A = this chain, B = another copy of it.
Amino acid sequence: MPKKEAATKARAPSARSIDVREAALTLFAERGYHGTSMKDIAAALQLRAPSLYNHVSAKQEILRDVMVDTMNNLLKVVRSAIAGTDDTVLQLRRAAEAHVRYHARHKREVRIGNYEIPALEQPHRGAVTKLRREYSRMFVGLIEKGVEEGVFDTRSPLLAAYGILQMGIGVSMWYTPDGPLSEDDIVFQYGDMALRLVGVTEAEPRVGRRRAK
């Protein structure tokens, strides 16, 4: 046990602990939380199940950390995307792009985040659900703003927001880096589709260099 770091209360991501969480991430995403046993996780690391408890305190703790961290990260990247401009059309494009890019890059995490809510015990399930509401509210609010400004046209900002979010979630189900479509292709085209959903009629000037990594 390294003495260097202050004992930040079970907050030493001890490299080996990261391995365990990494293996769990893959298995939870593939087979589901209840479909994965601690023995499965251990086997992936060529260990016996009891050894895992040197690095994590419980199976449920792994799930909780993944879900809470993932929602916080999503909120962060989308908030920062929106903060980057004050043009509402561009804000929605960038928010949608950030959303879908995160779902392409962190497939396992978001799959768990979307599928395993019932497997997350209280009180954390409530906390995560609250973060999720906050997240979708950002998109709804953005679209409502665009409608008020007259740059968006949609009967229901709520349905449009849900549509945009759900499309992005779908990417986590089929995207693979070796597929025919690159991450940037997908991200950009989903940005287009998001704008189409709210009635932005293309032909908008391609503002900024949005090809970035």
Contacts and interface: CB of A to CB of B under 8 A. Distances in A.
Contacts of A158: 181
A118 B159 contact: no
Copies in the complex: 2
A133 to B, nearest CB: 11
Contacts of A213: none
Contacts of A115: 32, 115
A68 interface: no
Contact of A199 (B165, B170, B196): B196
A173 B190 CA distance: 21
Contacts of A163: 163, 167, 170, 190, 193
Contact of A32 (B119, B156, B165, B174): B119
B181 A170 contact: no
Interface of A: 30-35, 115, 118-119, 155-156, 158-160, 162-163, 165-167, 169-170, 173-174, 181, 186, 189-190, 192-193, 196-197, 199, 201-202
